[in-house]
A and B are shown apart, each in its own frame.
Chain A
C-alpha cells in the first residue's frame, strides 16, 4: 500500500502556484518537513520565544502580552487565554499545573493531530511558556489515545528538548524548572471536557465534575491544584505571539476575534483539509475558493460551522458571506466552536445525517447523568425509525420534547449538544422530516428510491 495513505494529507494545491493561501504559521511543517527535529526547529527560530520570555518578561508580563494579543481558546469556548492564565493564584507556595488538551475528538475537527505530528516542539515551547507565566512546574499533555503516533513523536521531542536543557531543571540557565509529561488517554470524547480530562489524568473514569470550583481555583484542578487547561492550538500559537509581539497577532482578524486560526474543512468539498487563515475570512473564501466548492458539481445544502456540536446553518449567500470569527458566526445563529466546518451537498438526506450526528453523542455519553445517558438513546431510537420508514406523526414533537429534557438538565455540555443537530435541522428542513414520516423514505439523494419501511429492527 502507498505510504501516502499513512501521512496526513495536505489540501491539494490551494492556489494555481501551489503556494499556501496565507503564509504558514502553525502549519510551517508543510514547508519545512523536518521541523519535528529539534535542530531544524531551532534553525527556524524555535525556542527563541522561550529564551526571550525567560530573559525579558516576568510571568505577569507574559500574561499581559497574551491578553493584549487577543488570543482566544481554540478548543471551542473562545475564552481569552491571557484572562484564563490570570485566574491562577499568584501565591508561590501553591502548586499549580498546566494541562494541554490534545483530546481532539469533536466531529469535523482535525487540526490538533496534524500540528502535533508535524511540529511537536512548537507545542512543547508553548506549554513551557504557559508554565512560566502561571508558575507551574509540570505541564501535562493529555493526548487522545488514538493519537498513538502523535504521542510517540511528542515523547521523543520531549526527550530531545530535555537533552538540550529546554525541559527539566534550570531551563536555558534560568531559575525556571519545568517537566513535560505526555499522557495518553484511551478513547473517550468526554475527556475533552475539562473537568473530565482532570479526572482521567488522575487515573479515573472520565466523568465531568461540578463547577465551581473551577480548574483554576484551589481544589478545582488536577490533584486539587489550580490548573490551566488550554487546547493544543492555543498553546502552539503562544510562542509566535511571544516572539513577534501582540500587535503582530492583532493585525489579522476582527475587533474581538484576533489573529489567525486553523479551520478544518471536511465533508462534501473538492479540497478538504486544514486551512490556516486570518479570522476575518469568510465561509465563501474557505469553501468555494480554497476548498474548490461543493464536490461533484453539486449545490450547497448546509454547513456545520464549528464541529458537530454547533447548530447547522443553511447554505445561503448570507451565511457564505459571514466571517469565520466568534461573533460573526453567533450573529447567524450558530457558533465557531472548534472551527471544524462540515459541508453538506444538496443530495444529502438531512434525516440520515442527523441520525449519524446524534449517534455520536449516544455512543460517547459517559453515563454519569440520566438525562444524557437515557435521552441520547431515545433520540437515536426515534431518529432510527424515522430514517427507516417507520416514523410516526408525533415523532417530530417527541424528538424536540426529549431534546428539551436533556438540554439544561444534563451534567455537562455533551448532553446539551446532543439535540442541537435535531433542533437546528428541523428548523431548516422540517419538510424532509415530514416526508420521511409520510413516504417512508428520503426526499433527496440515493435513499429517495428506496422502498419504504425497509429495515427490520426498529424501536417500538
Chain B
C-alpha cells in the first residue's frame, strides 16, 4: 500500500493544478464548482487516489469549501480515498454479466491472486473488485482495467489477463 509515500507525493503537480484551473473555462462565470468531478479525475490520474491534501487544493482552485469537495469524493464510486493497486480490475457482476459467468471470473481472480474482493496484492500491482453494470451487456462478461474496457471474457482469458498485468509496465488495454 505505497509504503514510504510522503505528504508531498500526495500533492498535485503544478501542471495538474493548471489543468484543473483551466477547467473553469468550460462552465459559465461563477459556476466553477461544476468542474469538481473532472478535476478529481485529474487528481486520481496523477496521485492514484484522492488524497486529503488534493481535496484541499481542488477546493482552493475551484472556489469551493473542502466539505463540498469531500461530499463529491465520497459519493461517486470511481474515486478512491486510499491508495489502490497499479491496476484496478473491476469485474461487472450485474445481471447480463451474471447470466454469462461473471461470478466465475471473480472466483478465479480471488483464487489466483489470493485475496478478497477490494484487496490489493502485496506488491501493490493489482486490486480486484466487482462493479455494478458497466453498460457492455451484449459483450458479457466484461471488466475494466483501471478505466479501460475488456469485453467478452471467459475464465481462461481472465486468468491470462491477470498474468499479463502482473508485469505490464503500461495498461495494455488502453486505446486512445
Contacts and interface: CB of A to CB of B under 8 A. Distances in A.
Contact of A308 (B40, B71, B95, B149): B95
A200 interface: yes
B36 interface: yes
Nearest to A106: B133
**Which of B38, B68, B100 has the most chain A CB atoms closer than 10 A to its own CB?**
B38
Interface in A101-117: 104-110, 112-113
A305 to B, nearest CB: 13
B153 to A, nearest CB: 7
A242 B98 CA distance: 41
Contact of A5 (B134, B151, B176): B151
B133 A184 contact: no
A146 interface: yes
A107 B27 contact: no
B57 to A, nearest CB: 16
Interface stretch (B4-12, B73-81, B108-116): B73-81
A144 B157 CA distance: 27
Contact of B37 (A110, A200, A274): A200
Interface in B140-158: 140, 144, 147-153, 157
A21 to B, nearest CB: 15
Contacts of A106: 133, 135
Contacts of A138: 28
A31 B38 CA distance: 33
Interface string B77-102: 11100000000000001111011100
A273 B64 CA distance: 43
A8 B41 CA distance: 24
A421 to B, nearest CB: 9
Contacts of B175: 6-7, 149
A348 B100 CA distance: 11
B75 A110 contact: no
A235 interface: no
Contacts of B27: 181
A203 B64 contact: yes
A258 interface: no
Contacts of A356: 93-95, 98
B140 A266 contact: yes
Contacts of A183: 26, 34, 37-38
Given A6-B151, A184-B41, A200-B37, A272 B133 contact: no
B135 A1 contact: no
B96 A149 contact: no
Interface stretch (A55-63, A357-365, A373-381, A405-413): A357-365
Nearest to A138: B28
B96 A223 contact: no
Contacts of A348: 99
A107 B133 contact: yes
Contacts of B99: 266-268, 342, 344, 348, 353
Given A9-B139, A181-B27, A266-B138, A206 B34 contact: no
Interface string A137-166: 010000011111100100000000000000
Interface stretch (A86-94, A167-175, A185-193, A323-331): A185-193
A196 B157 CA distance: 37
B150 A146 contact: no
A1 B98 CA distance: 23
Contacts of A265: 138
Nearest to A200: B37
B133 A185 contact: no
A67 interface: no
Given A146-B147, A187-B76, A272-B140, A104 B173 contact: no
A39 interface: no
9 closest cross-chain pairs (CB), A and B: A203-B33, A187-B77, A186-B76, A148-B147, A266-B137, A187-B78, A272-B138, A266-B96, A205-B75
Interface of A: 1, 5-9, 11, 95, 104-110, 112-113, 138, 144-149, 152, 181, 183-189, 200-206, 223, 264-268, 272-274, 304, 308, 340, 342, 344, 348, 353, 356-357, 360, 363-364, 366
21 contacts: A1-B173, A5-B153, A9-B139, A113-B135, A145-B76, A148-B147, A183-B38, A186-B40, A200-B37, A201-B34, A203-B35, A203-B64, A204-B33, A205-B75, A266-B140, A267-B99, A267-B140, A272-B137, A356-B93, A356-B98, A360-B133
